[in-house]
């Protein structure tokens, strides 16, 4: 267990998850005061809390909820217990479920810049998590629309997730932690809902944003207002049941302001790993999200590599992979994987 303030803290600035530093169900906007400040190129460690186990339809009592699965009271994170018992505002009808840590002000960031978000480390804070299906949502709401939510408890130890089924049997799968929700504050004074992603990033749910990945976000307000939440231990592309394996993480980022010519080509969220560039498409309709991802990939190949449109279109058809990020967040997501090894350095 990684309780508040214990264990490794990899960043120069540390932000625990508390009633002072989190928002619940809404994202930071221009009027949201920062909980910390760092210079461009600085590092920050954020503790994140999973919403699973503390929501109203789970009794808002994580000790009782996880106790039903055999977790001892001292096996439930203290900040999750405190948040569930706190008066942090959340309208369960109007607001999203996510607990969001931040915002962090990056001193020199201005609208028109791009914030480069490098994920330096992601440390699991608990040895278990939850996958949930609820509220008639997910890829098959007509077939899995139970009157009561369904919660699947998963053990998560030694880099492996375990879902028990049948008599003494379990499915095992590799863990690959990432933050489902990373973003920058939106302009104006109205906090955005935490569920749909957008130009601000937010709930992108791109499973490739693991340790060593980089996300680029167009800055919309002075200071950028960076935040993170919706921690996952593993997710399949599509996130079809509604949630991934939801569980708390301690995340460390390097945040750098970019304002050179190349940065100004980044007008939407864009990611990369050691092996791939990852253009992103977003839309309420999955088909339109796919087309948006293709256009984003074409723009990248034309602007970054100087390919003409027909050559870029042919390359994408021959060699790139388009994956469904998620189909459950109101705004659907599709991302494209372009291998870096296919192009001259």
User: Distance between CA 79 and CA 49 in Å, rounded?
Assistant: 8
pLDDT tens profile 220-247: 999 999 999 999 999 999 999 999 999 9
Cis peptide before 103 (omega within 30 of 0): yes
Length of the chain equals: 345
User: How far, in whole angstroms, is CA 293 from its chain's centroid?
Assistant: 18
Domain boundaries defined on the chain: 13-263, 275-342
Task: Tell me the pLDDT band of 302, cut-offs 50, 70 and 90.
Answer: very high
User: How far, in whole angstroms, is CA 244 from its chain's centroid?
Assistant: 11
Torsions phi, psi of 247, nearest 5? -165, 155
Q: pTM for the whole thing?
A: 0.96
Is 275-342 in the same CATH topology as 13-263? no
Task: With beta carbons less than 8 A apart as the criterion, state whether 52 and 82 touch.
Answer: no
User: Which fold, 275-342?
Assistant: Endonuclease I-creI (3.10.28)
pLDDT tens profile 112-159: 999 999 999 999 999 999 999 987 788 998 887 666 789 999 999 999
User: Distance between CA 278 and CA 297 in Å, rounded?
Assistant: 8
pLDDT tens profile 246-281: 999 999 999 999 997 667 678 899 999 999 999 999
Task: With beta carbons less than 8 A apart as the criterion, state whether 154 and 69 touch.
Answer: no
Q: Which CATH number fits domain 13-263: 3.30.230.70, 2.40.160.40, 3.30.360.10, 2.60.120.580?
A: 2.60.120.580
Spatial CB neighbours of 166, under 8 Å, sequence gap ≥ 6: none
Query: In which element (H, E) is residue 288 found?
Result: helix 286-305
């Amino acid at each position: 267990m990684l309780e508040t303030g214990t264990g490794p803290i990899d960043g120069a600035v540390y932000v625990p998850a508390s009633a002072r530093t989190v928002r619940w169900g809404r994202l930071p906007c221009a009027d949201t005061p920062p909980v910390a400040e760092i210079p461009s190129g600085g590092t920050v460690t954020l503790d994140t809390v999973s919403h699973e186990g503390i929501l109203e339809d789970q009794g808002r009592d994580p000790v009782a909820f996880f106790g039903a699965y055999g977790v001892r009271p001292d096996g439930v994170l203290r900040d999750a217990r405190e948040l569930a018992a706190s008066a942090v505002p959340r309208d369960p009808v109007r607001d999203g479920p996510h607990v969001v840590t931040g915002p962090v002000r990056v001193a020199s960031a201005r609208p028109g810049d791009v914030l480069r978000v490098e994920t330096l480390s992601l440390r699991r804070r608990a040895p278990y998590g939850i996958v949930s299906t609820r509220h008639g949502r997910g890829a098959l709401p007509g077939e899995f629309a139970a009157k009561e939510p369904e919660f699947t408890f998963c053990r998560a130890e030694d880099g492996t997730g375990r879902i028990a089924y049948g008599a003494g049997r379990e499915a095992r799968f590799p863990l690959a932690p990432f933050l489902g929700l990373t973003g920058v504050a939106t302009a104006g004074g109205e906090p955005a809902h935490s569920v749909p992603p957008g130009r601000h990033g937010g709930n992108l749910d791109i499973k490739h944003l693991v340790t060593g990945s980089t996300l680029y976000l167009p800055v919309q307000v002075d200071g950028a207002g960076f935040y993170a939440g919706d921690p996952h231990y593993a997710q399949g592309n599509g996130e079809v049941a509604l949630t991934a394996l939801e569980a708390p993480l301690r995340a460390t980022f390097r945040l750098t302001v970019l304002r050179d010519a190349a940065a100004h080509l980044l007008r939407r969220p864009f990611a990369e790993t050691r092996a791939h560039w990852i253009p992103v498409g977003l839309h309420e309709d999955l088909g339109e999200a796919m087309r948006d991802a293709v256009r984003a990939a074409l723009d990248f190949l034309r602007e970054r590599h100087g390919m003409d449109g027909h050559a870029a279109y042919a390359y994408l058809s021959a060699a790139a992979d388009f994956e469904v990020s998620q189909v459950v967040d109101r705004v659907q997501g599709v991302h494209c994987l372009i291998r870096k090894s296919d192009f001259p350095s």
